[in-house]
Amino acid sequence: MKKLLIAIFTLALFPTAYQAQEITLKGKELFGDMRARHIGPALMSGRINDLTVHPTNSRIIYAGTAGGGVWKSNDAGATFSPIFDDHVQSIGVVTLDPKDPDNTIWVGTGETWTRNSVSVGNGLFKSTDGGGNWKEIEGFENSERIASIVINPNNTDEIYVGVLGALWSDSEDRGVYKSADGGKTWNKILYVGPSTGAGDVIMDPKNPSVLYASMWQFRRTGWGFNSGGLNSGLYKSTDSGKTWNKIHNGFPKGKLGRIAVAVAPSDANKLYAVLETEQKDKNGLWVSNNAGQSWEHLNNDFGLVVRPFYFSRITVDPKNPDIVVKGGLSGSISRDGGKTFKSLGNMHSDIHDVVFHINDSDVMYAGTDGGVYRSWNAGTTFEIVENLPLSQFYHISTDNETPYNVYGGLQDNGSWWGPNSSPGGVEARDWNSVGAGDGFRVLKHPTKNIIYSEMQGAENVWRYDVDKNRTKTIQPLPRKGDGELRFNWNAPMAVSAHVPDRFYMGSQYVHKSDDMGDSWTIISPDLTTNDPAKQDQSKSGGLSVDNSGAENHTTIFTIAESPLDQNILWVGTDDGNVQVTTDGGKNWNNVTPNLVGIPANTWVYHIEASVHGKGTAYAVFDGHTTGDMKPYALKTTDYGKTWKNIISDDIDEDAFVRNIQEDYENEDLLFLGTEFGLYVTVDGGKNWSHFTNNMPPVAVHFIDMQKETNDVVMGTHGRGVIIIDDISPLRQINQEVLEKDVHFFDSEPITMVEQGGFSGNFGAETQFVGANKPTTARIIYYLKKRHTFGKMTMEIQDMEGNKLATLSPGKSKGINVVDWSFNTTNPKMAEAKTLSFGGFTSPRVSAGKYKVVLNKGKETYEHIIETKYDDTAMTTLADRKKQEALTKEMFDMVEDLAYMVYEIGEMQDKAQDVIKNNPKGKKVAQSLYDALEDLRTDLVVTTGDNYVASAEPELRERMADLYSNIATSYDRVSGAQLQNYELIKEEFEKEKVRYAEIKNKEGKKFMKFLEKNEMDLTMKTKEDFLGDR
Amino acid sequence: MKTLQTLFIALFVVAMVPSTQAQTADEILENYFENTGGVDNWKKIDGMKMTGKAAMGPQEFPFTQTMMADGRMLTEVDFMGQNFIAQAFDGEQLWGMNFQTQEAEAQDAETSENYKKNDSKDFPDPFLNYKDKGYTLELMGEEMAEGTEVYKIKVNKGTVMVDGKEENNVAFYYFDKENFVPIMSESTINVGPQKGMKVQTVFSNYQEAGDIFYPYSIETKYNGQTGQSIKIEAIEMNPEVQDSTFKMPEKK
């Protein structure tokens, strides 16, 4: 018996155990239609790596961008659209198949202008449908940077790929590759060594078996850069890449750096090369007039020799071999075969690529650090493409204004702030400049209208008084005995949550100011490793010295003050130290030895001091500057004594991490900013989901959570500011919720935002306009399964169950978001010849509770939401109630008129029927018809059109306009409106009397006639008539 | 009701198929037509008259759309009791009413020709007899759409003319792996100022319409943002129509 019981018990347990299995939703399954929105900005755009024109269709242009993916223009560069949003956003090169340029596009990923802040690529991709879909080509997963793709125009299965390769480590993936079968298989056909990559690989325009390849020996570290070596060289093959020979006849001996090479499309013997050599006077432009047999030095002007690692692109006019353009600080153009140059016209500096229009060399396109520019006069005047939101943020922050502002600094594009929403959308003109040079951290003073910003290496730190429009320079300066202060290129700043005027900065020391930066105290010893081997940047650059400050190392990189205790400060350094003080800086504890799984000296990119416990913090580590791309994030709850890894296998193994943001309410909800986009966990890091709804895998450099709105705001390095509105539903995700078929997420009472400004968004046709934060009620629910078969509807009801509005419910598996604009339905309007636009107004609901009713098959799910009036209202509650009452009265009046006009119409129809078919009743019918028509023409418009041939407004039009004005106003009903109401009401009363009289006189006679002839006049009841709404 | 039973049986059978089994595009379509009433019933459709509501933001308008298997089409919207013909096609000419004058105007020749060569073939279903239409299909693989697992099928529909230049006309359909019906389609707008923007059409509320199952909810999204929601309330199968209904009236 006992055995049997056990057996039954066990059996009974089995299904329970099965049911209790955890539901884990990931990615799109979890996020459903929760979407990110992009607000740009695009006014300063971002860095472009490569431009490509279609060989026969001059409308089509591609831009391969440094950190924002691939963009395609179908209108000759007026506007661009992104076509590569599911893949890594750092692009090296875009090449079109010469035989099938409409459809077949090759993209090599990984930026090739190898500055300190470049992102990484992860391979070679191909589209065969003009960019709609992409397939990764096997074999290039570890290429990191692809500089060149060339295709034999006679046999497009023959493809050559130049892999520049890893920037921060050795790599055997470098070199020139060839496929003879359209990309199925590849052979490495030119390889020099693990530190030497392929730059330009080009093909002779007449003879596809002739190839040229420039090889470049280079390496970057966190603290320096080296361009040049004995392995760099320029090679030629005349047998389709089987054998290669150096073509250095005329070049100086010794080390060479980055080499640019181009062949004139109209003269295959004419080659141009730009060299970086050991002999300064031999740097710059070289020419060969015999296809590389010998070289002649032409020019070493500044524009030709400046920063070879950053500018190494030569473009030759497609028709004229003597017109040569070279990328550079300003870009240079020669019309005498390279002997002399002038600068290109004004545009954003740092020109990386220039292309000519295929038919008209007056038209040129340039790719710069600040987007794509167009010239119509051969390069003298340039205008910017205004819809490329490629801004590259290093950092962002938000404030508590309504709408809140976003602050941040950009690569080579200064510092800015702008609203997250603006009438008509966030446009270029909404953004304000708050710093020059490269911009990094920008912070708002917690209580005053003051903004802190900085430029590279804290060369200037600014305190900007917004109201007074005054700037003061406030960076910490060395005092006697301090020695040299080492600031990072991207120097850390922090404001205190406890003492509003307190401001922190980090060099190798922590600097504290309690007077907004006027005076500073050093409150720490050198917190870095202070390793002298990483401190000599004077020789950085290699053959061409490049000491911009970008490589300054052994510096503090992140400072985090605990939101719970002003004496707790966390510091992370670029050389791997995590330090903490619990007494405001008197004592510092180096907790680096306690870290788990982090290689020594790995850059501490961000520390997040938690609101969930004084000893709790998160630290993320970025090893990519040593070639270690792994994601690292740790959590401590005991001031750094012990740490726990919170990275799971869900995260791409190369998605190195730059930032983490915790939720202020749910400790298990975390947001991770990686090189390949955003990851979210709802269980404290056991499982991570890649957020991909309108969120490309772009490098996320910084994340902030805006406390009032629960918005996650991301500063991306290539796609500007991207926001996920109100993540509070993610706080409520748990097993209980996930097991339900339908679950409505709770929300706070929803403010019915009152806005009534103008936007006048001229220029929006070709300008990027950022999406606004929805001001609707967002009804958010979870569906366990996608709803496909059967009826599913949603409506808003008052608490008595009366239908107020119908909504279109989302049916995705996972989270669904439905917007309700607080409106009910429009009034039913009287029929007329034209439209009465006031009738398209539907009244807003009052503040209060409403039912959301979701019918799904036979099931009904209800959820209650609450709306409230805007705190910034211009009117009193009493006045608002009056307005609501009058709105209702006018609404009913409009519908009363509609029903009256309906009745008139029905009677007129019947009268016409009699006139046509019953000669005996013709007279009675005609007199009724005429009397009604007289009346009708006074009630509604019966002639004209909807534009300038419109008729004078009749009662319907005037009534609807007044109704609309009252219903849409955010202020009390005005005296003028009341007087107009009296007039219209009186007029309507008169018309009602007139109508009654007609019915009584002509109507009666007509009805008698109908009765006598046994004819019917059926009419809908008012309820039925309105029910058709 | 018979179709409903067939559907349940079909779903049951489908559920038995191990989900890892590879499918071809034609097998997916076969399942799709089988699960929605059978291909024979689809082939019997000469025309459909759909009535319902179209919503754009908070505004909702009653509409009637008549579509014929020979390509003729009429879309009428009710604005304040006025019948406004948004778009119509008589087999040759695409036309619609001008909003200001409320009079019929022809659409430009290129748009008309594109409609004739492409869109007019897609009723009652782009996949019905797709080979006869000159379409080719490609199973792109499995993906996630609408939070759920789907098969992605590419339809090459030939070409359209865009401002005088010929371009490919391609659409992608996402078939729910569980029941094999399309829950979303996606294409890139190839004309006008929105050129390059991706437009998604989301299908749900599949219900009986005559002998087939048809999506009664059709939502159009632009780059993922809802633009227009169509709720079909009733479908009349093979309605009686006058040829004149589709013809563009003379200007008054």
Q: Which residues of A fall within a CB distance of 8 Å from B179?
A: 788-789
Does A949 sit within 8 Å of B146, measured CB to CB?
A: no
Among A370, A417, A405, A404, smallest CA distance to A390 is for: A370
Q: Which residues of A fall within a CB distance of 8 Å from B37?
A: none
Q: Which residues of A fall within a CB distance of 8 Å from B80?
A: 829-832, 835-836, 839
Does B207 sit within 8 Å of A789, measured CB to CB?
A: yes
The answer on pLDDT for A16 being more than 90 is no
In this predicted structure, what is the pLDDT of residue A1024?
Answer: 95
Does A35 sit within 8 Å of B179, measured CB to CB?
A: no
Among A652, A664, A725, smallest CA distance to A693 is for: A725
The answer on pLDDT for A925 being more than 80 is yes
Report yes or no: B64 at the A interface, CB cutoff 8 Å: no
- The pLDDT of A656-675, averaged and rounded, is 98
Give this prediction's pTM. 0.94
Of the partner residues B60, B99, B207, the one whose CB lies closest to the CB of residue A791:
B207
Tens-place pLDDT, residues B31-74: 999 999 999 999 999 999 999 999 987 788 999 999 999 999 99
Does A947 sit within 8 Å of B80, measured CB to CB?
A: no
Q: Which residues of A fall within a CB distance of 8 Å from B59?
A: 826, 840
In this predicted structure, what is the pLDDT of residue A771?
Answer: 95
How far is C-alpha A487 from the geometric centre of its chain's CA atoms?
30
| Cα separations in angstroms, A31 against A689, A693, A695, B149, B237 | 9, 8, 12, 14, 38
Tens-place pLDDT, residues A736-751: 999 999 999 999 999 9
Among A708, A694, A677, smallest CA distance to A771 is for: A694
- The pLDDT of A915-938, averaged and rounded, is 96
Does B196 sit within 8 Å of A74, measured CB to CB?
A: yes
Q: Which residues contact B180 (CB under 8 A, 6 or more apart)?
A: B14, B28, B31, B32, B35
Beta strands in chain B (DSSP E): 47-56, 59-68, 73-79, 82-89, 94-97, 104-106, 136-145, 148-162, 165-176, 182-188, 198-209, 212-222, 225-237
Tens-place pLDDT, residues B99-111: 898 899 999 999 9
Nearest-CA residue of chain A relative to B153? A133
Does A74 sit within 8 Å of B53, measured CB to CB?
A: no
Which DSSP letter does residue A909 get? H
Q: Which residues of A fall within a CB distance of 8 Å from B102?
A: 834, 945-946
In this predicted structure, what is the pLDDT of residue B19?
Answer: 45
The answer on pLDDT for A6 being more than 50 is no
Mean pLDDT of chain A: 95
Q: What is the C-alpha separation between A366 and A354, in angstroms, rounded?
A: 4
The SS3 call for residue A181 is: coil
Of the partner residues A129, A831, A842, the one whose CB lies closest to the CB of residue B170:
A129
Please give the helix or strand (H or E) that residue A924 lies within, else none. Answer: helix A922-939
Core vs surface per residue A279-288: b (16+ CB within 10 A) or e: eeebbbbbbb
Instruction: Report the residue of A812, A820, A828, A947 to disrupt the B interface, i.e. the one with the largest count of B CBs within 10 Å.
Output: A812
Pairing of strands A589-590, A578-581: antiparallel
Beta bridge partners of B137: B155
Q: How far is A979 from chain B (nearest CA, A)?
A: 27
Report yes or no: A27 at the B interface, CB cutoff 8 Å: yes
The answer on pLDDT for B6 being more than 50 is no
Q: Which CATH number fits domain B2-239: 3.40.50.720, 3.40.50.620, 1.10.760.10, 2.50.20.10?
A: 2.50.20.10
Does A130 sit within 8 Å of B168, measured CB to CB?
A: yes
Nearest-CA residue of chain A relative to B82? A831
Which DSSP letter does residue A23 get? P
Q: Which residues of B fall within a CB distance of 8 Å from A949?
A: 101
Q: Which residues of A fall within a CB distance of 8 Å from B206?
A: 788-790
Tens-place pLDDT, residues A606-647: 999 999 999 999 999 999 999 999 999 999 999 999 999 999
The answer on pLDDT for A3 being more than 70 is no
- The pLDDT of A189-204, averaged and rounded, is 98
In this predicted structure, what is the pLDDT of residue A8?
Answer: 35
Q: How wide is the angle at C-alpha A25 spanned by C-alphas A24 and A31, nearest 5°?
A: 150
The answer on pLDDT for A694 being more than 60 is yes
Does A72 sit within 8 Å of B80, measured CB to CB?
A: no
Range name among A181-185, A715-719, A756-760 with the lowest pLDDT average: A756-760
Of the partner residues B204, B225, B226, the one whose CB lies closest to the CB of residue A792:
B204
Q: Tokens for A426, please give them.
A: 């966030």
* Chain B 105-164, residues with CB within 8 Å of chain A CB atoms: 140, 144-148, 154
Q: Which residues of B fall within a CB distance of 8 Å from A821?
A: 57-58
Does A786 sit within 8 Å of B176, measured CB to CB?
A: yes
Band the pLDDT of A1028: cuts 50, 70, 90. low
The CB density around residue B136, as the number of other CB atoms within 10 Å, is 13
Domain boundary assignment for chain B: 2-239
In this predicted structure, what is the pLDDT of residue A709?
Answer: 95
The answer on pLDDT for A285 being more than 90 is yes
HSE-CB for A1011 with a 13 A CA cutoff: 6
* Chain B 160-219, residues with CB within 8 Å of chain A CB atoms: 165, 167-168, 170, 172, 176, 179, 181, 183, 188, 193, 195-197, 202-207, 213, 216-217, 219
Q: Which residues of A fall within a CB distance of 8 Å from B171?
A: none
Q: What is the C-alpha separation between A954 and A962, in angstroms, rounded?
A: 13
Band the pLDDT of B23: cuts 50, 70, 90. confident
Does A81 sit within 8 Å of B196, measured CB to CB?
A: yes
Report, at the CATH architecture level, how domain A48-384 is classified. Answer: 7 Propeller (2.130)
Of the partner residues B57, B80, B203, the one whose CB lies closest to the CB of residue A839:
B80
- Among all chains, which residue has been given the structure tokens 């295959």? A268
Band the pLDDT of B252: cuts 50, 70, 90. low
| Cα separations in angstroms, B184 against A20, B129, B151 | 33, 20, 11
Domain boundary assignment for chain A: 48-384, 877-1027
The answer on pLDDT for A192 being more than 60 is yes
Give the whole-number percent of chain A exceeding pLDDT 70. 98
In terms of pLDDT, which residue wins out, B3 or A225? A225
Q: Which residues of B fall within a CB distance of 8 Å from A835?
A: 79-80, 82
ipTM: 0.91
Tens-place pLDDT, residues B194-237: 788 899 999 999 999 999 999 999 999 988 888 899 999 999 99
The answer on pLDDT for A19 being more than 60 is no
- The pLDDT of A26-42, averaged and rounded, is 90
The answer on pLDDT for A9 being more than 70 is no
Report yes or no: B83 at the A interface, CB cutoff 8 Å: no
Report yes or no: A100 at the B interface, CB cutoff 8 Å: no
The answer on pLDDT for A577 being more than 90 is yes
Which DSSP letter does residue A438 get? B
Q: Which residues of B fall within a CB distance of 8 Å from A785?
A: 148
- Among all chains, which residue has been given the structure tokens 């009296």? A982
Tens-place pLDDT, residues A62-72: 999 999 999 99
* Chain B 9-48, residues with CB within 8 Å of chain A CB atoms: none
Of the partner residues A80, A813, A840, the one whose CB lies closest to the CB of residue B146:
A813
* Chain A 688-707, residues with CB within 8 Å of chain B CB atoms: 693-694
Say if CB A618 and CB A558 are below 8 A apart. no
Q: Which residues of A fall within a CB distance of 8 Å from B196?
A: 72, 74, 79-81, 83
Tens-place pLDDT, residues B115-169: 999 999 999 999 999 999 999 999 999 999 999 999 999 999 999 999 999 999 9
Cis peptide before A697 (omega within 30 of 0): no
Does B146 sit within 8 Å of A835, measured CB to CB?
A: no
The answer on pLDDT for B9 being more than 60 is no
In this predicted structure, what is the pLDDT of residue A11?
Answer: 35
Band the pLDDT of B16: cuts 50, 70, 90. very low
Report yes or no: A76 at the B interface, CB cutoff 8 Å: no
Q: Which residues of B fall within a CB distance of 8 Å from A786?
A: 146-148, 176, 183
Cα dihedral A452/A453/A458/A462 (nearest 10): -60
Does A945 sit within 8 Å of B100, measured CB to CB?
A: yes
Beta bridge partners of A220: A225
Does A129 sit within 8 Å of B154, measured CB to CB?
A: yes
Q: What is the C-alpha separation between A67 and A919, in angstroms, rounded?
A: 82
Side chain identity at residue A66, one-letter code: A
Residue pairs between chains A and B whose CB atoms are closer than 8 Å: 135
| Cα separations in angstroms, A462 against A61, A157, B83 | 40, 56, 63
Report yes or no: A1020 at the B interface, CB cutoff 8 Å: no
The radius of gyration of chain A from alpha carbons, rounded to an integer in Å, stands at: 35
